[in-house]
């Protein structure tokens, strides 16, 4: 047994400081850092720089999965052929629908113009690939391969073929991070498609569950109701499917209904997502960013509290 | 014992990189919940074994790296790592008297402390995860510690000769 009392005091800036004092100093610095990080975006540049530095190790960690994915494709020719055929049929079907949609859109826009409505159906999309899902099982984040150089900005909505997935929360030059609607810290303004009733769907922390905690006991909602984005709050474009109600339970004595919904988007499957935004939201986001330089953005609608 | 000699910084960085790789490897949800905290274990191993070159500030920096990758509040894992490191420094005299496989019993409270700091900060930041299985990695880390620590020790001994 060696007494290492002296070695405990490793030299720091030429002095030897006892670990007790150091841990107190580290704790104070950490707490200040966390508070600053929580309250403002001033640490974002530091974060993005470090994120770029840690990119290689993350890419290496993703590699086994990627290799398995590609090897699977290489060996499974039969599956590839059936997949291809299915996709061809789907393209045909979708194209047929699209033809109808184009005329419908034109009609809709004419009618909107007649009503002198300001809202437009014009939406921009960007395809991104999912690089990785959150390694922390309690935070529902995904990493995307598009960053600010590709035009990604904070607040962009993420959709897949079936519905809304989430929104972008952090952007580095080369990649970005998005929070999913099932994250316990995420809320999304929705309306019930059947009745137009507005409410907020909160993530539950489970990957297949949303909760609607703010519905009064007499609210008109039942199982199998479709929830779509209401577009309130300005983050999400209106009219995209969010989920379907799976159960509505009224606990006697409670003021609110216990409503659970199942997200429409396939949150834990698939590798490609669409980033959707309207020119309005882009301008809004740029404006927000300019404001956040001074104060944190306080969006009433869908604001992740702890990115 | 390698505590008598200084291990090169390159080796420390390499082992930390390997641990980070294991921590980031995508796993299905069920497995991911019991994934042992290899990376913090590696940091604590070096705090324990290389007090001269790897102290609390190094542990804190390692934690900051995790904050960047996980997107958690800046300093959350840094603080947890430093607090756990401090506990290891306090326990060091005791830990050295035990063989690696018995150390893990003594380290169990340290791993609990690490997880508790994270749990506390999550709660304050409003990202509360209050489910019992959150504490499972503490157990799996304790189980994996003897193997991982003796592996690291072998590698380090091999390097210093």
Q: Under an 8 A CB cutoff, do A305 and B126 touch?
A: yes
What is residue A122's predicted lDDT score, i.e. its pLDDT? 64
Determine the structural domain holding residue B115 and report its residue range.
Answer: 2-25+34-160
Q: Under an 8 A CB cutoff, do A306 and B126 touch?
A: yes
Residue (of A178, A181, A176, A153) closest to A168 by Cα position: A178
According to DSSP, residue A244 is labeled: E
Q: Under an 8 A CB cutoff, do A51 and B89 touch?
A: no
pLDDT above 80: residue A209: yes
- DSSP run (H or E) holding B143: helix B136-160
Residue A298 domain-assigned? no
Contact B116, B105 (CB under 8 A): no
Q: Nearest by CB to B75, which of A30, A65, A136?
A: A30
Q: Under an 8 A CB cutoff, do B74 and A37 touch?
A: yes
Distance from CA of B53 to the nearest CA of A (A): 8
| Interface ipTM above 0.90 | no
Residue with tokens 């809320």: A187
Specify the pTM.
Answer: 0.69
Q: How many domains does chain B have?
A: 1
Residue A1 domain-assigned? no
Q: Which residues of chain A are within 8 Å of residue B68 when distances are taken between CB atoms?
A: 47, 50-51, 54
What residues pair up with A143 in beta bridges, in sequence order?
A132, A177
According to DSSP, residue B35 is labeled: -
Q: Does A207 touch chain B (CB under 8 A)?
A: yes
Contact A137, A107 (CB under 8 A): no
Look at A80 and A29; give whichever has higher pLDDT: A29
Residues A49 and A88 in one domain: no
Determine the structural domain holding residue A97 and report its residue range.
Answer: 76-121
Contact B87, B113 (CB under 8 A): yes
Q: Under an 8 A CB cutoff, do A47 and B76 touch?
A: no
Question: pLDDT tens, A39-72?
Answer: 887 888 888 888 888 888 888 888 887 788 778 7
Look at B127 and A150; give whichever has higher pLDDT: A150
Distance from CA of B117 to the nearest CA of A (A): 11
Q: How many domains does chain A have?
A: 3
What is residue A14's predicted lDDT score, i.e. its pLDDT? 54
Residues A36 and A95 in one domain: no
* Residue A273 phi, psi (nearest 5): -135, 160
Helix (H/G/I), strand (E/B), else coil: A134:
coil
Mean pLDDT value across chain A: 80
Residues A246 and A194 in one domain: yes
- Between CA B43 and CA B158 the distance in angstroms is 19
Q: What is the pLDDT along chain B (161 residues), one digit of tens a residue?
A: 556 678 888 899 999 999 998 888 877 777 888 889 999 999 999 998 888 888 899 999 999 999 888 888 889 999 999 999 999 999 988 888 888 888 888 899 999 999 999 999 888 877 766 678 788 889 999 999 999 998 998 888 888 76
Q: Which residues of chain A are within 8 Å of residue B55 when distances are taken between CB atoms?
A: 10, 19, 22
Residue A68 domain-assigned? no
CATH of residue A215: 2.40.10.350
Question: pLDDT tens, A253-282?
Answer: 888 888 999 999 888 777 788 888 876 666
Residue A239 domain-assigned? yes
Distance from CA of A140 to the nearest CA of B (A): 10
């Amino acid at each position: 047994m060696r007494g290492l009392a002296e070695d405990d005091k490793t030299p720091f800036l030429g002095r030897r400081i006892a670990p007790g004092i150091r841990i107190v100093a580290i704790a104070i610095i950490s707490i200040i850092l966390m508070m600053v990080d929580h309250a403002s975006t001033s640490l974002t540049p530091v974060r993005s720089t470090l994120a770029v530095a840690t990119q290689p190790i993350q890419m290496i960690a993703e590699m086994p999965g990627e290799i398995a994915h590609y090897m699977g494709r290489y060996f499974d020719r039969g599956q590839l052929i059936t997949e291809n055929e299915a996709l061809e049929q789907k393209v045909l079907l979708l194209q047929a629908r699209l033809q109808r949609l184009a005329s419908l859109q034109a009609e809709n826009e004419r009618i909107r113009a007649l009503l002198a409505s300001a809202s437009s159906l014009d939406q921009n999309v960007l395809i991104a690939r999912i690089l990785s899902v959150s390694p922390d099982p309690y935070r529902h984040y995904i990493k995307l391969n598009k960053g600010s150089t590709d035009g990604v900005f904070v607040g962009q909505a993420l959709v897949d073929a079936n519905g809304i997935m989430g929104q972008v929360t952090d952007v580095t030059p080369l990649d970005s991070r998005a929070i999913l609607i099932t994250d316990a810290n995420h809320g999304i303004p929705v309306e019930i498609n059947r009745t137009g009733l507005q409410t907020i769907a909160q993530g539950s922390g489970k990957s297949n569950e949303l909760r609607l905690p703010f519905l009064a006991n007499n609210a008109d909602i039942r199982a199998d109701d479709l929830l779509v984005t209401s577009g309130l709050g300005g983050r999400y474009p209106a009219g995209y499917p969010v989920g379907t109600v799976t159960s509505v339970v009224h606990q006697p004595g409670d003021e609110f209904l216990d409503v659970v919904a199942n997200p429409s988007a396939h949150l834990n499957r698939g590798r490609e997502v669409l980033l959707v935004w309207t020119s309005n939201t882009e301008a809004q986001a740029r404006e927000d960013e300019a404001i956040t330089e001074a104060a944190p953005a306080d969006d009433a609608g869908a604001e992740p509290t702890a990115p | 014992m390698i505590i008598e000699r200084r291990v090169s910084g390159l080796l420390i960085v390499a082992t930390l990189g390997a641990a980070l790789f294991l921590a980031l490897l995508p796993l299905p949800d069920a497995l991911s919940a019991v994934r042992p905290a290899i990376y913090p274990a590696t940091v604590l191993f070096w705090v324990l074994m290389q007090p001269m070159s790897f102290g609390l500030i190094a542990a804190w920096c390692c934690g900051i790296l995790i904050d960047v990758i996980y997107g958690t509040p800046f300093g959350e894992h840094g603080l947890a790592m430093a607090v756990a490191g401090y506990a290891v420094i306090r326990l060091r005299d005791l830990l050295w008297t035990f063989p690696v496989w018995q150390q893990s019993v003594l380290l169990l409270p340290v791993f609990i402390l690490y997880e508790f700091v994270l749990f506390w900060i999550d709660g304050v930041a409003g990202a509360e995860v209050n489910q019992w299985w959150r504490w499972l990695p503490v157990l799996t880390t304790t189980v994996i510690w003897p193997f991982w620590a003796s592996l690291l020790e072998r590698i380090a001994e091999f390097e210093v000769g």
